Amino acid sequence: MRSIFVAVFFALVLAGNAHADLATELLGRLEKQLLVQQKMIEAQQKQLDEQKELLEKLGARLDHTVAGNNAPAKAERPVAETPPPEAPSTVDDVALAEDEEMGATASEAATRVGANTRGEPGHLVHIARGGPFSLEVGGLFHTLGIYSAKRTLPTATVFFLTPEDQTGVEDTFNMSAQYSRAIASVRGPRLGGFDTGAEFQALFSGGSITSDDYGITPGLAYVWANSGEWYGAAGLNLDMFSPRVPTMVDGISALAASGNPGNMQRAQARLERSFTTGETGQLTIGAAIAEPFSTIVNDLTGQDTNYEDNGIPNIESVVKWNSGPAEASALLPWPGLALELSGVYGQFRSYAGRQDPVVSNVWGVAAGAGIRIGNRFGIQGEAYAGEALGNYLGCIQQISVQPNPLLLSSLEPISCYGGWGELAYAWSPDVVSHLGYGIDHVSSDDLTLGYIQNNQTAYANVMWSVTPYWQLSVEGTWRATDWVGFDDNAGPAVMVASAVRF
């Protein structure tokens, strides 16, 4: 009997040792599997970090091209860009190249002609490639409906109000698709370390953005070269003076004649140099020579005066800095902080009746800033002062005045100052609201009949990106215009808009 107990005991011991060996083997296998999985996780994390870095670089490049659709100011170019990829040969290669090249190619053509609304075209379609050149096209179908309790000038995009009608009947309604636009972009060869290309954008207004007629009006038409640090462009381009833009639904008025000069198109040649500051900041210094008078905007006040250049171009300059592109988590895609200081100087000759021409100076200085607080809220604004800035959409679009027409007095340039401010809040990635106010004031004391002394606009809007290609917007405004010799006028308006981009 004793021998049986001993046998059973040793059997149990051997079984226990076997289970222990099996457990040890299983534990070793689990440790190996965990080690393999840990290495896979580390590799995946490294890949995610690389993709995040790539997305940040692409985001910085996109910030250069559209600002906003709602960056509050035109964003900067990246300082160090990689060479462009080889010409794609398949449909998939074309799609990949379009994504990779968005910041350095034609997307400059998506730069706003007016406000930097989210309704701007954001995706261009590649349609042709020949040798070192490729062509991309895009566009925007923009339909506006405007009800105003007071008569406006112009009707499709409002800058100010006409004098008050004594009958009291002056409410108006207008619908317009004039500010739809067509875009074409050419990417050229890489020359001496510079990417090259050309951009074209046209609106469907009749020769001027202030015309109520339909037609074809070039908005942008220029060639460019970009090394990442140096950037040059020549042709019809946006003013370098006063680059910051409020966000309004029509995509054109942008508080022009209400505190926001500049942002107009004129023939010019510009050169810019960009520097990296800190880890993500960017400083840009630029200068341009430009035509003194742009025909993109007509004189809405109808002053009986003719102007011409004085044989020299206007000189524009800008110094701007931003803290870098917004973080991926930011619902409001503004830089954390952005600052600008810009100026313009030139000369012109003016004629009134049979008088000898008068040579006058045009000059202006503007300072702007924008800041994003958290991920949803932002504040931006700009202030300016100058003289004879009517063709830059300052001074309520007025250039000079003849204080005593009956005495045939000499023409004098109009002095002015103004500014604007805006609050922005992103309710979600697709819904953003803006609340703003701007005012232009003419400081000249000798304005005569038919001139405007003050013009101001307040607005509030909601912009909803229903899809990446379709946006619906609604905006309420209040405007007040103070005329010299006529009754002042003030009143509300409502604008609704649909923007379909392709």
pTM of the shown model: 0.75
Domain membership of residue 20 (yes or no) is no
* Segments forming the whole domain that contains residue 186: 66-501
Q: Residue 175: its pLDDT value, please?
A: 92
Max Cα distance, the chain (Å)? 143
Q: What percent of the chain has pLDDT over 70?
A: 73
Domain membership of residue 428 (yes or no) is yes
Q: How far is residue 343's CA from residue 286's CA, in Å, rounded to a whole number?
A: 11
Total structural domains within the chain: 1
Cis peptide before 154 (omega within 30 of 0): yes
Burial tier of 207 (Cβ tally within 10 Å: 0-12, 13-18, 19+): middle
* Residue-wise pLDDT tens digits, 371-401: 999 999 999 999 999 999 999 999 999 998 8
Which among 204, 159, 143 has a CA at the least distance from the CA of 396? 159
Asked if 452 and 111 count as a contact pair (C-beta separation under 8 A), the reply is no
User: Is pLDDT at 305 greater than 90 in this prediction?
Assistant: no
- The number of helix segments (H) and strand segments (E) in the chain equals 2, 23
* Residue-wise pLDDT tens digits, 219-276: 899 999 999 999 999 999 999 999 999 999 988 889 999 999 998 899 999 999 999 9
Domain membership of residue 318 (yes or no) is yes
In the block, which residue shows the tokens 């300052």?
394
Q: How far is residue 173's CA from residue 458's CA, in Å, rounded to a whole number?
A: 19
Question: Mean pLDDT across the chain, nearest whole number?
Answer: 80
* Residue-wise pLDDT tens digits, 425-448: 999 999 999 999 999 999 877 788
Q: Which amino acid is at 249?
A: V
Specify the CATH number for the domain of residue 237: 2.40.160.10
Domain membership of residue 12 (yes or no) is no
Residue 316: pLDDT band by 50, 70, 90 thresholds? Answer: very high
* Residue-wise pLDDT tens digits, 463-492: 999 999 999 999 999 999 999 989 999 999
Query: What are φ and ψ of residue 416, in 5° steps?
Result: -160, 165
* Residue-wise pLDDT tens digits, 73-111: 333 333 333 333 333 333 333 333 333 333 333 333 333
Q: Which residues pair with 141 in a beta bridge?
A: 500
Q: Residue 131: its pLDDT value, please?
A: 81
Strands (E), 211-313: 214-226, 230-238, 265-277, 281-290, 306-309
Domain membership of residue 388 (yes or no) is yes
* Residue-wise pLDDT tens digits, 116-130: 332 344 456 767 777
- Cβ neighbours of residue 86 closer than 8 Å, sequence gap 6 or more: none
User: Is pLDDT at 150 greater than 90 in this prediction?
Assistant: yes
* Residue-wise pLDDT tens digits, 340-354: 999 999 999 988 767
- Cβ neighbours of residue 360 closer than 8 Å, sequence gap 6 or more: 347, 348, 349, 350, 387, 388, 400, 411, 412, 413
Average of pLDDT values for 38-47? 70
DSSP, res 346: E
Domain membership of residue 110 (yes or no) is yes
Q: What percent of the chain has pLDDT over 90?
A: 52
Domain membership of residue 25 (yes or no) is no
Q: Collapsing DSSP states into helix, strand and coil, what is residue 177?
A: coil
Which pair of structure tokens corresponds to residue 66?
A: 């559209």
Average of pLDDT values for 129-156? 89
User: Is pLDDT at 35 greater than 60 in this prediction?
Assistant: yes
Average of pLDDT values for 16-28? 57
Q: Residue 403: its pLDDT value, please?
A: 77
Q: Residue 352: its pLDDT value, please?
A: 74
Q: How far is residue 453's CA from residue 362's CA, in Å, rounded to a whole number?
A: 19
Out of 184-193, 401-410, 467-476, pick the least confident.
401-410
User: Is pLDDT at 196 greater than 90 in this prediction?
Assistant: yes
Q: Residue 480: its pLDDT value, please?
A: 97
Domain membership of residue 16 (yes or no) is no
Average of pLDDT values for 167-191? 91
